Amino acid sequence: MARAKAAKIDPIERILNYSDMGITFMVILIVAMMVIPLPTIILDVFLALNITFAVIILLTTFYIHNALEIAAFPSILLVATLFRLSLNVSTTRLILLHGFAGKLITAFGNFVVGGNYLVGGIVFLILVLIQFLVITKGAERVAEVQARFQLDGMPGKQMAIDADLGNGLIDEHTARERRKTVQREADFFGAMDGASKFVKGDAVAGLIITTINIIGGICIGMFQQGLTLSQATQKFSLLTVGDGLVAQIPALILSTATGILVTRSAGESNLGRDITKSLINHYRPLWVGSILLLALALIPGFPRIPFILLASFLGMLGFWVFKSKKEAEEQPPQTSKSPKKQTGTAPSEPAQSRGDSGSFDNVMKLLAVDPLELEVGYALIPMIEPSRGGDLLDRIQTLRRQLALEMGVVTPPVRIKDNLQLKPTSYTIKVRGVPEKVAELMPDHFLAIDTGDTKGELVGIPTKEPTFNLDALWITPELRAKAEELGYTVVDAPSVLATHLSEVVRANAADLLTRQTVQNMVDMVKDSAPAVVEEMLRCLSLGDIQKVLQNLVREKIPIRDLAGIFETLADYGKSVQNSDFLSEKAREALGKIILSLYINETSGELTAVTLSPEREKMIKESVQGNLVEGWRIKMDPKDMQSFIHAVGSATENLLREGLPQVLIVHPDVRLFVRKIIERTFPNVAVMGYSELPGDTRIKTVGIVE
């Protein structure tokens, strides 16, 4: 019963249920009005409805925070324009046939302009010029720019949504809603760009219709009704001007609503609050305005009372704003008295603050080295500070989440510093205090990267892409579309820096895997699998575990399955503590994960090259050592260079075809093959046969002879 009662008292929902029929009837009525003559009393009602409807639309735009709250505005604008034009047709018919088109038009012609058709005509022309040259033209330009910006920004917004979804920041439902919002915004502003043409055309049509009505009315009055030129002009011009004013006033209101809607891009509240907050946010302009008005009041011949009243109002308003701001500034210190008392004891101990111990502590702080640092020149600071539109901090946070999901590695926070010794547009990335590379950015330009398939030349500043050292050009934003048409990959400066940082972190992920991080990972697994962790820690130290995880990360093996890795270490760590041996056993346990990195998902095959038995025998015989002391490779340098060259030749075809470079070898020599080629071919994955599941299909395309 409660639900039924709630449904009965919901008038808005009841109206919405029949809104489709109402709009359909309204459109049919609008079309019929152009053909069927209407009684003057009904016409007065429709003219009043036209003005009321325009005022409601204008007031609605005052209270919206987001343009999508009135997403149907382009269609509303079209219907309102069509309704107004149909009224023009109906009133024109009545004026020319009967010389009377209702009391509203007569009142506008007699009362509003004092019965003077010349004054009415001038007022009408001024309204048309205001609407056409000022409001409509400006709104049209703003709508065009908004539509262009929305369409250009769609790919970036979609990529940001996909990145948040991939990093687990949002769920699929939220991502779907955000994509829908982005699409609706683009559709809305694109429709507004076209709808603004309706308003422009309406202004032109109103001027033409009024001119035709005056000429036609004079002709009808003189040739059909026998009036003189003066009488015909007085009669029909006054009615026509009244008709024009009745039509142009709501048209002007709707044009203003259009302008307000397309210019409110950063509103936080309703329009009145936003405007008032903007104007009275500072007291100095109010005081200066008050002084200026007082000065104008002193000029001989100027009316003093209006200027003095306005000056007094601005002065009092400025004093009120000044007093409010002073109270707001004094309030925070009153709420933080206890911290002041605590910090106030420091100056009372000059001997300790200036003694040798204090200096020693300050020097000791300089010895601390951050695992990951980013030093930037002062020109790049706006890319970092959120208050100045920078989003680099969000990108770094996204990067850390992405690495945690892909590799299972929690990278340390990136400490960002400004370095005055660098060039203003330069930056450097440091890993454990060691600079990786110094690169330069142009914050107000885009980087056009030559992919090798570009068509045509592009004007820009030649440079090298810092991450992969590719040929590139710094171009102005105006050339972005042209660069993409020519086949260049175009990215903005923050993306260049974020990509460079991402690759540096990936390349040094093993070195950034600190012992404290490993301890945190062990504690995390201990909550869900305490027995595994306790058994592993009985035979292995934290350092042994760290070395195993670093070996896996160094070969780009995901370590998210920590419980499985720790079980393997617990099984084999009882008898052997050699980190290389334990790493090989951990790889065998992660065989399915390793295979998923390189297998062709379409065909289900692993395309790879293999090692000839002669090469395997040669490498095995060159290995010396044991599990306790470790191994070392004693191979003739010529034979080693010959082997490296053979691996490069065998895997070159895989690289050309865009396939992962995979070399499959006997498990006994996998580690040593990897150590021999890792510096020359870091991207060649060396896999042992014991790592592959039994049902793996291998497609051999070459042999290292």
Summarised one tens digit per residue, pLDDT across range 443-483 is: 888 998 887 777 778 888 888 888 888 888 999 888 888 88
Please count the other Cβ atoms lying within 10 Å of the Cβ belonging to residue 500: 21
Asked if the structure places residue 333 within a domain, the reply is no
For position 21, what pLDDT does the model report?
Answer: 73
489, 449 contact by CB (below 8 A) = yes
Whether 21 and 127 share a structural domain:
no
Whether 247 and 313 share a structural domain:
no
Whether 201 and 108 share a structural domain:
yes
Is residue 71 packed enough to be buried (19+ CB in 10 Å), middle (13-18) or exposed (0-12)?
A: middle
Q: What is the pLDDT of residues 516-551, one digit of tens each?
A: 888 888 888 888 888 988 989 888 888 888 898 888
Q: What is the pLDDT of residues 210-262, one digit of tens each?
A: 777 777 777 877 777 777 777 777 677 777 777 777 777 777 777 777 777 77
Q: List the CATH number of the domain containing 521.
A: 1.10.8.540
Q: Which residues contact 273 (CB under 8 A, 6 or more apart)?
A: none
Residue 163 reports pLDDT greater than 70: no
Whether 422 and 294 share a structural domain:
no
Q: Which residues contact 119 (CB under 8 A, 6 or more apart)?
A: 113
* 3-state class (DSSP) for residue 603: coil
Q: How far apart are the first and last CA of the chain?
A: 85
H runs (alpha helix) in 64-171: 73-98, 103-107, 117-129, 137-166
Whether 97 and 241 share a structural domain:
yes
Structure tokens at 174: 């939220």
Asked if the structure places residue 349 within a domain, the reply is no
Asked if the structure places residue 342 within a domain, the reply is no
Q: List the CATH number of the domain containing 653.
A: 3.40.50.12790
Is residue 224 packed enough to be buried (19+ CB in 10 Å), middle (13-18) or exposed (0-12)?
A: exposed
Residue 140 reports pLDDT greater than 70: no
Instruction: Sort residue 623 into left (φ over 0), alpha (ψ -120 to 50) or beta.
Output: beta
Q: List the CATH number of the domain containing 410.
A: 3.40.30.60
For position 600, what pLDDT does the model report?
Answer: 84
Query: Where a domain ends, among 544, 565, 589?
Result: 589
Highest-pLDDT range among 123-127, 287-291, 380-384, 386-390: 380-384
Structure tokens at 222: 């003189």
pLDDT (average), residues 378-404: 82
Whether 222 and 319 share a structural domain:
no
Query: Where a domain ends, among 589, 604, 633?
Result: 589
Asked if the structure places residue 358 within a domain, the reply is no
Highest-pLDDT range among 181-190, 286-295, 560-569, 595-604: 560-569
Highest-pLDDT range among 66-75, 96-105, 200-209, 618-627: 618-627
Residue 168 reports pLDDT greater than 50: yes
Asked if the structure places residue 345 within a domain, the reply is no
Phi, psi torsion values for 425, nearest 5 degrees: -105, 15
The boundaries of the domain holding residue 14 are 1-25
Q: Higher confidence at residue 648 or residue 226? A: 648
Q: What is the pLDDT of residues 653-704, one digit of tens each?
A: 888 888 888 889 888 888 888 888 888 888 888 888 888 888 888 888 888 8
pTM of this structure: 0.50
Q: Kindly compute the dihedral angle of the four CA atoms of residues 74, 267, 136, 202, in this order, to the nearest 10 degrees.
A: 30
For position 117, what pLDDT does the model report?
Answer: 64
For position 1, what pLDDT does the model report?
Answer: 42
Whether 93 and 235 share a structural domain:
yes
Tell me the pLDDT of the chain averaged across its residues: 77
Which range is least confidently modeled, 45-59, 269-283, 506-520, 597-611?
A: 269-283
Structure tokens at 557: 């093996």
What share of the chain in percent tops pLDDT 90?
Answer: 0
Asked if the structure places residue 341 within a domain, the reply is no
Q: What's the domain count of the chain? A: 6
Of the candidates 578, 113, 121, the residue with the CA atom closest to the CA atom of residue 569: 578
Whether 320 and 244 share a structural domain:
no
Asked if the structure places residue 332 within a domain, the reply is no
Whether 475 and 559 share a structural domain:
no
For position 18, what pLDDT does the model report?
Answer: 64
Asked if the structure places residue 340 within a domain, the reply is no
Q: What is the pLDDT of residues 393-449, one digit of tens each?
A: 888 888 888 888 888 888 888 888 888 888 888 899 988 888 887 888 888 889 988
Whether 674 and 698 share a structural domain:
yes
Whether 542 and 654 share a structural domain:
no
Q: What is the pLDDT of residues 573-593, one digit of tens each?
A: 888 888 888 888 888 888 888
Whether 624 and 599 share a structural domain:
yes
Query: Where a domain ends, among 507, 540, 556?
Result: 507
Confidence of residue 145 (pLDDT cuts 50, 70, 90): low
- 553-573 burial code (b ≥16 CB/10 A, e <16): bbbbbbbeebebbbbbbbebb
Phi, psi torsion values for 112, nearest 5 degrees: -65, -45
Length of the chain: 705
